[in-house]
Every structure is written in C-alpha cells, then in structure tokens.
C-alpha cells in the first residue's frame, strides 16, 4: 500500500511516498532559508513559502518515487501541532487532492509522526516501548503501549530542549536554528569546563530548560571577548552536557521503573551526537536498548507522517475530510 505523506507544520515543506509504512520511495524536504535573516520562523512568511513550493515538491515526490497519483492508496497530512497558516496549506492541499482523485485521506498528529520515525526504520522495535520526543517545540517522555496508545509520563514545564539549543546558539552567535551547530562545536570542547545547572532533577519525569538558558546568558554576559573566543567549544559542550544529562537520567529511570526494554528518541534533538551516545551507553548498563532514526528522519519530514498515517489507517480506516488544523493538538 502506497502512502503520500505531507508535512508543512512549520518551516519545512515536505512530501514523501512510503510503501506499507516501512519502505521510503521518496522523501523530499525543502527547508525555508528565508527565516534565517529574522532569527526565527515568521509564520505568515512560512505560509506563503509553503504555497509557492507545495506543487513542485508534490511533483518531485511522485517522480522520485516513480509512481503516479493513480498508484497512491492513502494521503496523510499533518493537522497539528504547529503553525496554523503553514498547517492549513498542507492540509488543504491533501484534502483537495484526495477528494478530487477519490483517495482515502487521513490527518496526522505531528508528534505521532516523530515517534513513528522509529517504527518506520526499526522492524525489531518492540511495539511496547518508551519514547523521548525532543524537538523544537516539545520535550516529552511517553510510554507507547502500542502504536496509538500512549501514556505521557512527563514533559517540559517551559522551554523544549530544541528551543534551549536554538536560544543558546543564538546567544553564542551561531545562527538559527543552531542545535546542529552547537552539537558540531561541542565535539571539540570539554563538557566539564563549566557546570551549568541541572533543573528539576528530582521532579519525576518533568523537565525545565528555561533556567538553563538564562544561566548561559548570564554566564556569557560576564565573559570578555578573548575568553569567549578561546572557550567557545567548551561552553557549547558544557551547555549540551547539562541538557543531555537530564534527558538521559530521566529516560533511563523511567525505563527501569516502568520495566520497559526498548527505548527510542525522536524529534530534531534526537540527531544530537552526545544524546545518542550517552543514552546508548547508560541504557546498555541496565540491559536496555536504544533505537533512534537516521538524522533526516529526526527533523521534520513527510516520510514519518506517511508512516504514522499508514499505521493509523491500519487501525481505524480513513479519516474525515472535515479534520481541521489544530495548532495545539495533543498526543493521545
Ligand atoms: N544535532 C542536533 N543537536 C541538537 N539539536 C538539534 C540537532 N539537530 C537539530 N536540532 C534541533 O532540533 C529542532 C528541530 O527539530 P524538529 O524539526 O523536530 O522541531 P519542530 O518541528 O520545529 O518542533 P515540533 O516537532 O515540536 O513541532 C531545532 O530546535 C534544532 O536546533
Ligand atoms: Mg517537528
């Protein structure tokens, strides 16, 4: 069964063709570069960019996959969470196409898409697993009983992990979005150079990153230019260590307390090299296993949306054409 996935929740226009929820035939991703000059995503500009590129991206996704619209059996599009304008562009395109071509349509929760990236790529992943979703807008620890059945164990009380990476990158003059750049720089630095605070260490599975961001800001304000330049990599590594340590500590604890053997990470921050390495190592100590998606399936992409749409369709059949864009859609 061939699914066309459509993702436009933020600043990536993406379309993918995925066979049987497992085999990616194409996954075209266009990141809107226009926002770098503003230092963050401008919603109205993002909507207009999606409008301009959505049709060419659609054609490219089909041609790269070597299929025609007639061979598509399901159209899946992100309905939320995300920016309402950008969501509406992808969702309306998907509904129009599905309606005109008499193809079943299904609306997808973007966070379910992120966690589905692991199911897509790892056939031996236990349907019952623990997942840490760490993206630009979310940080949540979720027990997945099986696809579609979730218990949210904890989430962030303020900023998301990816947001903290982006804000610190901005403070350090590394551009936007800067998570990957912090990761790259941190590889050359000493993570023990400065000890930034680890917040809410004891508070169950909840997270908080806004205090850390402020701590980095205050620390940078006190530094002279020469010291900053000499120790940039050390500062990036020390900040990254503070985020990663907390994420790993709570995830490993949850896996032990809930007695779950398979753990996944997903979302943009799951591409972080230190998070992947430390989490793998600490889970191994307690006889548990970590799975993570390829970097291209960590950040926003339509292949994960096609996969999630296909798994939902297998469970519940087609969705409703009346599905609306829901900016604050919850995972349930
Ligand atoms: N190697 C990396 N290390 C740390 N952070 C990273 C890395 N690569 C990407 N990121 C961060 O991942 C985030 C983007 O991830 P993603 O595309 O999943 O978020 P989003 O779609 O904007 O948010 P959400 O999925 O919550 O709506 C950005 O904050 C980015 O800085
Ligand atoms: Mg995302």
Write the pLDDT tens digit of every residue in 229-278.
999 999 999 999 999 999 999 999 999 999 999 999 999 999 999 999 99
Nearest CA to ligand 1 atom 23: 136
Which atom of ligand 1 approaches the CA of 298 most closely?
A: 18
Compute the distance from residue 100 Cα to the ligand 1 centre, in Å: 34
Residues in the ligand 1 pocket, defined by CB under 6 Å: 9-10, 81-82, 110, 114, 135-138, 162, 165-166, 177-180, 183, 267-269, 271-272, 299-300
pLDDT band at 127 (very low <50, low <70, confident <90, very high): very high
Compute the distance from residue 38 Cα to the ligand 1 centre, in Å: 18
Compute the distance from residue 313 Cα to the ligand 1 centre, in Å: 27
Check residue 86 and give its pLDDT.
98
Check residue 176 and give its pLDDT.
81
DSSP 8-state class, residue 329: P
Compute the distance from residue 7 Cα to the ligand 2 centre, in Å: 9
Quote the distance between the C-alpha of residue 275 and its chain's center.
Answer: 14
pLDDT band at 165 (very low <50, low <70, confident <90, very high): very high
Pairing of strands 12-19, 23-31: antiparallel
| pLDDT(37) > 90 | no
Check residue 274 and give its pLDDT.
98
The structure tokens 């990536």 sit at 12
Q: What three-state secondary structure class fits 7?
A: strand
133 alpha carbon, closest ligand: 1
CATH architecture classification, 128-294: 2-Layer Sandwich (3.30)
Residues carrying CATH 3.30.420.40, the chain:
2-114+297-316, 128-294
- C-alpha to C-alpha distance for 138 and 131, rounded to whole angstroms: 13
179 alpha carbon, closest ligand: 1
- C-alpha to C-alpha distance for 262 and 69, rounded to whole angstroms: 37
By most ligand atoms within 8 Å of CB, the mutation choice from 135, 166, 272 for ligand 1 is 135
Non-local CB neighbours of 263 within 8 Å, separated by 6+ positions:
129, 130, 131, 132, 251, 255, 279, 283, 288, 289, 290, 291
pLDDT band at 38 (very low <50, low <70, confident <90, very high): confident
Compute the distance from residue 287 Cα to the ligand 2 centre, in Å: 30
Tell me which CATH homologous superfamily contains domain 2-114+297-316. Answer: ATPase, nucleotide binding domain (3.30.420.40)
175 versus 115: the higher-pLDDT residue is 115
Q: What is the mean pLDDT of residues 54-68?
A: 98
Compute the distance from residue 5 Cα to the ligand 2 centre, in Å: 14
By most ligand atoms within 8 Å of CB, the mutation choice from 162, 242, 243, 325 for ligand 1 is 162
Check residue 193 and give its pLDDT.
98
- pTM of the prediction? 0.97
């Amino acid at each position: 069964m061939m699914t066309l996935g459509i993702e436009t929740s933020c600043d990536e226009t993406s379309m993918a063709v995925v066979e049987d929820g497992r085999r990616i035939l194409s996954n075209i991703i266009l990141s809107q570069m226009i926002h770098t000059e503003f230092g963050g995503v401008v919603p109205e500009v993002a909507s207009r960019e999606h409008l301009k590129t959505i049709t060419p991206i659609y054609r490219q996704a089909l041609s790269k996959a070597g299929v025609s619209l007639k061979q598509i059996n399901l159209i899946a599009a992100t309905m939320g969470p995300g920016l309402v304008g950008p969501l509406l562009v992808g969702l309306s395109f998907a509904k129009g196409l599905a309606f005109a071509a008499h193809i079943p349509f299904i609306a997808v929760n973007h966070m379910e898409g992120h966690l589905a990236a692991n199911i897509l790529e790892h056939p031996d992943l236990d349907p019952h697993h623990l997942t840490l979703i760490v993206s630009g807008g979310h940080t949540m620890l979720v027990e997945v009983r099986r696809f579609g059945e979730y218990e949210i164990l904890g989430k962030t009380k303020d900023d998301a992990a990816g947001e903290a990476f982006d804000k610190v990158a901005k403070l350090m003059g590394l551009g936007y979005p800067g998570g990957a750049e912090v990761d790259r720089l941190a590889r050359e630095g000493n993570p023990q150079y400065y000890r930034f605070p680890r917040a809410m260490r004891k508070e169950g599975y909840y997270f908080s990153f806004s205090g850390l961001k402020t701590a980095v800001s205050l620390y940078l304000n006190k530094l002279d230019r020469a010291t900053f330049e000499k120790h940039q990599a050390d500062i990036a590594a020390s900040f990254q260590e503070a985020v990663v340590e907390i994420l790993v500590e709570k995830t490993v604890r949850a896996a032990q307390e809930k007695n779950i053997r398979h753990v996944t990470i997903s979302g943009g921050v799951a591409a972080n090299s230190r998070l992947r390495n430390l989490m793998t190592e600490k889970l191994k100590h307690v006889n548990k296993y970590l799975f993570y998606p390829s970097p291209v399936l960590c950040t926003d992409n339509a292949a994960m949306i096609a996969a999630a749409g296909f798994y939902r369709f297998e469970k519940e059949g087609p969705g409703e054409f009346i599905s609306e864009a829901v900016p604050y859609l919850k995972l349930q």
